[in-house]
Structure 1
Amino acid sequence: MKRLAGRAAGEIIETARFLGGVAAVWLGLVTFGFAAFHIPSESMQPSLEVGDRVAVSKWAYGYSVHSLPLGIGYILPESWNGRLAWHSPQRGDVVVFRDERQSPPRNLIKRVIGVAGDVVEVREGRLYLNGEAVVREFDEIRTYREHPSGLPVTVTHYTEVLPGGREHPIYEQRDNAPLDDYGPVTVRPGTVFVMGDNRDASRDSRAPEGPGLVPLENVVGRAETVLFTFERCRREEGMYCPRGRVWQGL
């Protein structure tokens, strides 16, 4: 009887150790490695849809005051420059950053369009970098139901090709919207210029009430993949409805 009790106690201890190890690994990953970010709006369509859960690597560029684990960044002395860096965001990266212009501050997700020294301009809906028009290739016309109003929105789906060859999809409702003429603006050192892929439905660096040029110390991390999403829209003839996705890279 004692032998059975001792064996059961040993198994319980081993199970507890295993579960403790799993918890420690999980805590380490979410604290130092990755964070999950929920997409609340349509500003990054079609790359990211409302309801997507995105994995964000905190370590991609180093650690900023906003990505240091356990809130350490918020208790460091102000003399610290706010960033322990080994890489900087590149054009085409999708980044999560802290928008401190809002009250209260909150995290946003956008695509990096301009880096230090770039001259960014938008003319009649076309993006220009350093005086050159960025390639924009027509794909198709789509109509989808806006979230949460449910009203139909018709957009043109393009593939945009940034200098260096990185491609990403964008939506344009029209080329004379309020933010379709902007700049030119030179990106200052230590900052990046960001835009949403849904160009006429994004409050980004172009917008007067937007985040402006985003300081690198406000960058939380790089969005790596869509972990999962559940199909939210109803299938209707003539309406675009994105399918549910699992582990889809950006």
Structure 2
Amino acid sequence: MADLNFRKKRKRQAKRKQSVKKERDLKFAARKPGLKFQQEKSHSETKNTGAIVNWILQIVTVCVVAFVLVWFFGQRVSNAGDSMKPALKNGDVVMVNRLVYNASRPKRGDVVAFKPNGNENAHYFIKRIVGLPGETIQIQDGLVYINNKAVKEHIHAKNIKDSGVAAEPLTLGDGEYFVIGDNHAGSDDSRMADIGNVKRREIYGKVWFVTSLGSDFGFVKR
């Protein structure tokens, strides 16, 4: 009998030892550094992915902004002829702002690029705005008269000998502009019947900067 009890006791002790060993093995497995390493690795991968996405978004944003700036502010047009001397010379490459007139109206003294009568096959003309919509313009005694008053401010053409169609009072319609080259003696502009008044839709944009290296390099004077 005593031997039987001893055997049962030995079995119970063996089961307790096995149970304790299993608990220790489970705790040890839970404390394995591999799990923590995998969590840290997953967090690091997420962080790197976010940085890459942010980097791509920045590049896309820069490209879009650059495209907009070039398209609206950096269109290049070559000046043909000397009709705008001394402001511009033949062959000068200028930058044209296409956006400015979406926010404001062309002003007297602005230098603009346009295609006469909207002819897409013609090269761009570059002239200075003298008359604005609704104004009555006349060239008399070498001076530009606007609404019967001689105007000199923002008008660079002086001592004009050929008045052309402006020899008589000429009233500009809505959205029409009268342009003259600074070098009026060698300029084909609104004084000529085949060019006439320039309509707003024909104006490509405002000429604002000369990119050609030399004395003309820089902002175009108004």
Give the TM-score range, shorter chain. Answer: 0.5 to 0.7
Alignment-derived partner of residue 155 in structure 1: none
Structure 1 residues 30 and 94, CA, compared in 2 at 3 Å: closer, same or farther? same
Measured on the aligned residues, the alpha-carbon RMSD in Å equals: 3.0
Higher helix proportion, which one? 2
2:192 and 2:88 map into 1 onto residues whose CA distance is 20
- Confirm whether residue 29 of structure 1 aligns to residue 69 of structure 2: yes
Higher strand proportion, which one? 1
8 A contact 2:132–2:172 mirrored in 1: yes
Q: Residue 101 of structure 1: CA displacement? A: 6.1
Q: Residue 176 of structure 1: CA displacement? A: 3.7
Structure 1 residues 249 and 215, CA, compared in 2 at 3 Å: closer, same or farther? closer
1:105 and 1:94 map into 2 onto residues whose CA distance is 18
Count of matched residue pairs? 168
Alignment-derived partner of residue 195 in structure 1: 180
Q: Residue 225 of structure 1: CA displacement? A: 2.0
Structure 1 length as normaliser, TM-score? 0.57
Alignment-derived partner of residue 43 in structure 1: 83
Alignment of 1:136-215 (within 5 A): 161=153, 167=154, 169-170=156-157, 175-177=160-162, 179=164, 182-210=167-195, 212-215=196-199
Deviations 1:11-47 (A, max 9, x none): xx9xxx7998776554332223331121111111111
Structure 1 residues 221 and 45, CA, compared in 2 at 3 Å: closer, same or farther? same
Alignment of 1:51-200 (within 5 A): 51-62=91-102, 86-100=103-117, 104-135=121-152, 161=153, 167=154, 169-170=156-157, 175-177=160-162, 179=164, 182-200=167-185
Structure 1 residues 99 and 177, CA, compared in 2 at 3 Å: closer, same or farther? closer
1:169 and 1:213 map into 2 onto residues whose CA distance is 18
> Structure 2: any 5+ residue segments left out of the alignment?
1-51
Q: Residue 213 of structure 1: CA displacement? A: 1.3
Deviations 1:135-193 (A, max 9, x none): 3xxxxxxxxxxxxxxxxxxxxxxxxx2xxxxx454365xx5446396231001011111
Decide which of 212, 219, 222 is 2:203's aligned counterpart. 219
1:103 and 1:28 map into 2 onto residues whose CA distance is 23
2:177 and 2:166 map into 1 onto residues whose CA distance is 19
8 A contact 1:98–1:219 mirrored in 2: yes
Larger radius of gyration: 2
8 A contact 1:112–1:194 mirrored in 2: yes
Question: Secondary structure at the residue paired with 2:189?
Answer: coil
Structure 2 length as normaliser, TM-score? 0.64
1:214 and 1:247 map into 2 onto residues whose CA distance is 26
Q: Which consecutive aligned stretches of 4+ in structure 1 deviate over 6 angstroms post-superposition?
A: 17-22
Deviations 1:182-209 (A, max 9, x none): 2310010111111111111111111022
1:220 and 1:27 map into 2 onto residues whose CA distance is 18
